Chain A
Amino acid sequence: MAAKSWREVPIGGLITAPGNSLEYATGDWRSFRPIWDESLCTNCKVCWAYCPDGAIRLDNGEVSGINLTYCKGCGICASECPQKAIRMIEEAQAREMA
């Protein structure tokens, strides 16, 4: 995205597009990737409550996976899941597998 001139942006540094941080893919930061095992998941949503990046995907109220565009790979979900349904593997390894 080309940077705009002073005539093209709102005055005072105002940001008028709420939530446009979605344009920035923090998933690029990962060194570790969470792998979610659906068969072990009970949909308790504790992972959703503790994810710093809101990267636990929910579809129709059910956990459906991890949003890898934003997941920074902190591993809190894996650490907290009561069913041990999430494990962390190295991002490099995960990319090889893909």
Chain B
Amino acid sequence: MVLNLEQISTEPDLLASGHRLCAGCSESIVVRQVLHAVGTPVVVATSTGCLEVTTTPYPHSAWRVPWIHSAFENASSTISGVETMYRALVKRGKIKDVGMKFVVFAGDGATYDIGLQFISGAMERGHKFLYVCLNNEAYMNTGIQRSSATPFGAWTTTSPVGEAKAGKTEARKDVTAIFAAHDIPYVAQAAPHAWKDLMSKVQKAIAADGPSFINVLIPCQRGWRYPQDQTIAMSRLAVDTCVWSLYEVIDGKWIINYHPEPRKPVIEWFKSQGRFQHLVRPENSHLVEEFQGMVDRHWKRLLDRERCSA
């Protein structure tokens, strides 16, 4: 499929309007983009979370494709079952092989925390499916609680800012690297402002002969506290500060897709969002330094990985 908006926009959206996501939420921006890149026929599984509850408030469903939700942690196991049944029925001649694709949408809570085991199992078994993590860096649906994807220093309702503690005290987990270590054919990170990059990654992932994983940064105007029209701008700022990076791991080879020139300091990231406002205060400058150090180390590690796997 040619990746230009002229062509892409001729196909209808597979996610209908009328869903109840917040104004300015990037989950549906990404889902629309991903489904345009995947096309039909596709079966989608979703974990409990913002996307699931807002797209299927009974008796309404925004999904124009077959869709299943069973629980929070287990979208990858659920889709494993669907994908296996597809292969079983095709093998037995009960249904035709139409080149069915299988996609999971799940939040960072479902992916980094409660669902980690399930994804690992599904990847180890080699089911052919694309897992898209919609990473808004907290348990947003239940009211902005910290997950292991929440960045260091961020305010959330379970890592609030007070006299004794100033936001999250732990660094965030590098789940993309964990899934790259599963040696699956395709792993990547993406962001909603770079729609062409995201859609091309989805196409590569879906063509892979095995499990694939794409971690997409999802700016969240409610949880991150920024004006609702700045969602795409936030996505851009994330990659320009190296707080988020766009890269791929294709059959073990690490490729960075975007090198920001110049790299913006993380203080820019903190100034832009209410969840980091306490870090902008002079007495917390040591935390800004600590976070800058983490970002620098992670970026350097990424550069090293790219070099080593070249």
Contacts and interface: CB of A to CB of B under 8 A. Distances in A.
Interface of A: 9, 13, 15, 17-26, 29-30, 44-46, 48-55, 58, 61, 67, 69-70, 72-76, 78-80, 88
Closest 6 CB pairs of A and B: A75-B229, A21-B18, A74-B24, A72-B23, A19-B16, A70-B17
A18 B63 CA distance: 6
Q: Is the interface of A mostly helix, strand, loop or mixed?
A: loop
A50 B24 CA distance: 9
Contacts, number: 122
Given A20-B59, A21-B19, A45-B6, 5 more contacts: A49-B9, A51-B32, A67-B17, A75-B24, A79-B233
A22 B27 CA distance: 18
A25 B64 CA distance: 17
Interface of B: 5-6, 8-10, 13, 15-29, 32-33, 55-56, 58-65, 192, 195, 221, 227-233
B20 A26 contact: yes
Contact of B18 (A9, A26, A73, A80): A26
B17 to A, nearest CB: 4
Contacts of A80: 232
Contact of A49 (B5, B20, B55, B228): B5
Nearest to B58: A13
B24 A52 contact: yes
Given A18-B61, A18-B64, A24-B18, A52 B23 contact: yes
